[in-house]
Structure formats: structure tokens, C-alpha cells
A and B are shown apart, each in its own frame.
Chain A
């Protein structure tokens, strides 16, 4: 490759390399700034990613939609999920569609997981919450213990805008999970 062409291409590549993370940040920030917040009931478990570190996977309660429409049988593909808020303030599915609807309701896009007996199952895409390596495992344990008495509710606060969902934080009874875990760790240390 000619040297001057190579330099131009190199700088173009630098621009692309800067643009990709910048675009990711813009999309997330825009959704957090002007999107609508929804609470999704969940339960966390703790795995690890070699590059991005420890995270908790959120097993959302919302994972299926019942329908009598037979056209869903055997359908595996893109799924648009339109939301509403239930009486307790948590997100619930209003309707699902294979294509984008002309609706003002907030939605997110995912893929069908399994369809059986009029039940379309799916996975919510915003199910990873990255945590400090010393806190992820304790997050799973502390939340499981807290949920055992069925009085505490764990939920993910997700901002939605034009199909993009950003998981802002995870809460246990309105307390951010980080604070909850730190309190649990202090309690654990004091017992030891």
C-alpha cells in the first residue's frame, strides 16, 4: 500500500475506532436522558466475562406472553415487545409483534426463545449488570437471601427509547444493589 494512502486509511480507521465506542455511549446516554424508565422484576445470578469482568445475569420474571394467535406456532425470529405498567408499577407486556407497530407505546426488540401451547417465550436483552469483582458473587447471595422471605422485591430499572433499552441499575426494595451488597458485606464481616 502506498505510504500516503496508508496514512489516510490509518487515520480513517482511527476515526472509526473512536466512533464505535462514542456511538455506543451516545445511544445509551440518549436513552438514559430522554427514555422512559420501567421496572422489571428479576433475580440475579453471578457469572464472569473474560474481558468485561464480573456481572450478574438478571433472570426476569417477564419471560413469556400468552396468545391464541396460531401464527406464532413454530416462529423463531425477531420479536417486538410493547410494554405497559401494571398496578404495582412494574413493567408488563401489552402486546407482541413480529414487526414494528405504529404505536406510541415503548418497546424493545428481542428474539423468540420457545413457542408452545399458545405461549411465546423470550429473553429480555438487557440482562447483564456488570459489577465490581468483589461484589458480584455477594450480590447473588444477598439478594437470594433477601428474596427468601418474599417481602423484598428485586428489579432492574431500564430506560427505553425507540427500541433501545439501557439497564440503569438494579434495586432491592428501592435500594441500589451496590448499597445493598455493601451493607451485606459489612454485616458478614462483623459476624466474622
Chain B
């Protein structure tokens, strides 16, 4: 990295943009920064070592050593757990580096699972995988706060999601209420990380994992009636609005899982709801209580985030994506007056969202967002071909117009970018 920086600095010095003094200062600054950074490669290798060893022990245990007497097997069961505890106690008491703590906490989490597995195996203890995961998560969760291990949080989230999916999506599935506790458990840790290390890799990963986990699990909380669409739309709406909080919005888009998941999810679901079958489906006389409560809670959460953004004056520019979930909630009520209103208005909503994305793309000079908007409109039109009887010539012309739309919009954006860069250059020259 240093040689690259040095090359760039030399280039800047040759172009008379900086002098050698400034170059030295910049170099010294980055070297200092580099030295104060923890050795991430070492941490990764240690954690990987701990992960692989822990998983290896679990697999060796899973072989089932049936030649061994029961009492020896029982004593052996505690071996990985005790080793994990000793390693963590050592790294904790001796104030070892974070790489040590990460590795020993990871190993301890896996060895707790290995020990419970072995005891379960020796005594043929009844219980399926979700029961097993539940105990495992419960007795390792405090490690997140005691050791501040980043991998402990990731393992906790992955296991909690696995537990909830196993319990909820299985035959005779139950609602995994404990999942909510497991998810809330990591929230204070996450908020603390957001405040103290906003640019860190772990925050980037959690910005994706924290919305993804409830997205995967939400289906276990529903009995599957037509409210399920609204439930997911409210979830995506809430995610999108969380992603619009300046803290997340000001980060690179790829680090903002809330906005991406919220936007893609909303568009996907709204496009499904532009089909006629949804609006023709008869309205139930009564919905399942849990479905109603969860849908209401998710809508309220979305509204609360919008309220927060409004209070903090972050809603200056109108963005239809932020309100799409609310509009859809109101449109759902039109089902009581027949299928036509909702159907037509949802189609208009999706088309407007597409146009909105095009506008955001042009304003932000972003080809990605511009083409995303055109794709939304294209998807909507393609979908309409499934349930309309338009003739081939009309469809052909429509597709050609869309294709031309793509070219024209991209051409104008390119032209606008060209103009901007000329303006920047002329401004720089006039300053000189």
C-alpha cells in the first residue's frame, strides 16, 4: 500500500500539486495510522484457526466413539469446554490482544456446542436441532458483552436465525418468540459499535446481517393469510427508512443493507401486487391475531422512523420510496370497495417509483440508480403482458420505446456528467 501511496505522491509532486514537505507529512500520517491499526490479518488467521479447530472437534465427536465406556466419554465431553474456558480466561486475565480474545471466544462458543452435543449423544437425550441450538445460544450469548468479540455477535445472529427457521418452518412449526429476545440482545452492542466504530468492517457486515436475519425469520410469525404481503411491505418500508437515517445514508451504498434490502424488497413485492389475482382474492372475515399484531407493529415501526426523520429535519427532499409502504397500506383498504381501485393505483405507484428512481439517478449522477428506475418500469410493463391481451405490434412498439428510453436517459446523464466535469475544470482554472 505504501509503495502505491509513494507513487501517487511522486506523481502529485511532479505535477506541482504538492511540494516535498507536504508529501513527507502525508506519508508520515499514513504510516502512523497503519501502525496504530490492529493486525487484522493475524486476527483473521487466529479466528479461522479457532473456527476450524472447533468445527473439527464437533465433527470428530459426531463420529460417535461407541467403543469407549460411558464414564470416559462423559469426562471427555467436558474437555473441549474446559480448554475453551481456560483459553478465554487466559487471554482475558492476561489482557491479550483482540486477536487472542476473538479466537478464544470463538473456540469457546464452538466447544460449548461440542460438549452439549456429546452429552446429548451419550445419553440419547431427546430434542431436535432447534432445542439444541436454543440451549447453545442461551449459554454463549453473554460472551458478546463480556469479551466484545465481533465473531461472537456474528455467530449469535447466524445461530439465532438458524434456530428460528428450524423451529418455525418445520413440520408443525411453532412461532419462535425467543428469537425476538435473541435479536434484541445484540442491539445495544450494535448501537455501541455504530457510535464508536462507524467505519469498521464489522459495522458494514452487521448493516446487512441485522436486516437479513428478521427478513428470513418473519415468515415463521405468520399463518400465511393475505396479510403476509402487507407484513413484508411494512418490514421493507421500515428498513428503507432506517437506511435513510443520515448515519447509514452517508455511508457507501454497499454498506447500507437497510436501503438496498428495503428498496429491492418493496419493489419486488409491489410488482407482485400489480397482478389481478391479489386484488380478486376474497377478504377474510377475520385475520389471525399474531399476523395482525405483527403487521401493525411493523407499520408503526416504519412510521416511527419516518417521524424521527421528520423531527430531525432529514425529510427535506421528498422521496416516494420512503412512503411507499404507507401508501400500499392504504391501498390495501380499497380491497373492501372492489378490486379495480387497488389494482390500478398499485400499478401507478410502481410506475411512479420507477420514475422517481430515474430522477434520483439523474440528480445524483448515478447510472446505477437511473437504470434501476428504468428496470422497475420495464419489469412492470413485462408483468402487464402476462395479464393483458395487447396485440403483438403494440407490444413490439412498447418494447422499442423502452429500449430507446434506456439509451436516451443514459445519454442525457452522460452528457450532464460531461458538462459537470467541464464546469469543475473551468472553476479550477479560474481559481488558479
- A interface vs B, CB < 8 Å? 1, 6-7, 9-11, 13-14, 16-18, 20-21, 24-25, 28, 49-55, 125-133, 135, 165-167, 178
Chain A residues near B114 (CB-CB < 8 A): 51
| CB atoms of A54 and B125 under 8 A apart | no
Question: What are 19 A-to-B residue pairs whose CB atoms are below 8 Å?
Answer: A7-B92, A9-B146, A10-B88, A10-B147, A17-B85, A21-B115, A24-B119, A24-B120, A25-B77, A25-B122, A25-B123, A28-B123, A49-B62, A51-B114, A53-B64, A127-B126, A132-B66, A166-B123, A178-B66
> Is residue B297 within 8 Å, beta carbon to beta carbon, of the partner chain?
no
Q: Are A131 and B66 in contact (CB-based, < 8 A)?
A: yes
Question: Is B380 an interface position by the 8 A CB rule?
Answer: no
A-facing mask of B59-92, CB < 8 A → 1, else 0?
A: 0011111100000001001100110010011001
Taking A21-B115, A25-B77, A126-B124 as given, write out 8 further A-B residue pairs in contact, using a Cβ cutoff of 8 Å, ordered by the A residue number. A13-B139, A17-B112, A28-B125, A49-B62, A51-B114, A51-B117, A132-B63, A132-B66
A58 to B126, CA, bound (A): 11
Is chain B's binding surface mostly helix, strand, loop or mixed?
Answer: helix
Most chain B C-beta atoms within 10 Å of own C-beta, residue among A9, A21, A52, A133: A52
Determine how close the nearest CB of chain B comes to the CB of A125; give it in whole angstroms. 4
Question: Could you tell me if B64 and A17 are in contact, using CB atoms closer than 8 angstroms?
Answer: no
Question: How far, in angstroms, from A186 to B122 measured CA to CA in the complex?
Answer: 25
Whether B346 sits at the interface, judged by CB under 8 Å, is no
Find chain A residues with CB under 8 A from B139 CB.
13, 16-17, 20
CA distance A53 to B129 in the complex (A): 11
User: What residues on A are CB-neighbors of B115 within 8 Å?
Assistant: 17, 21
Is B48 located at the chain interface by the 8 A CB criterion? no
Closest to B136 in A: A51
Give the distance in Å from the alpha carbon of A7 to the alpha carbon of B88 in the complex: 11
Q: Nearest Cβ distance between residue A24 and chain B, in whole angstroms?
A: 5
Is there contact, CB below 8 Å, between B132 and A52? Answer: yes
Nearest opposing residue in chain A for B142, CB measure: A13
B123, A24: Cβ atoms closer than 8 Å: yes
B257 within 8 A of A: no
Q: A14's contact among B62, B64, B85, B93, by CB below 8 Å, is which?
A: B85
A1–B145 Cα distance when bound, in Å, is 8
Residues of A within 8 A of B58 (CB): 51
Q: Which of B84-132 contact A (CB under 8 A)?
A: 85, 88-89, 92-93, 112-117, 119-126, 129, 132
Is B143's CB within 8 Å of the partner chain A? yes
CB of B135 closer than 8 Å to a CB of A: yes
Among B82, B88, B121, B135: residue with most chain A CB under 10 A: B121
CB distance from B304 to the nearest CB of A (A): 29
CB atoms of B126 and A24 under 8 A apart = no
Whether A53 lies near B62 (C-beta < 8 A) is yes
Cα distance A178–B126 in the bound complex, in angstroms? 20
- Given A7-B93, A17-B112, A25-B119, the answer on whether A126 and B64 have CB atoms closer than 8 Å is no
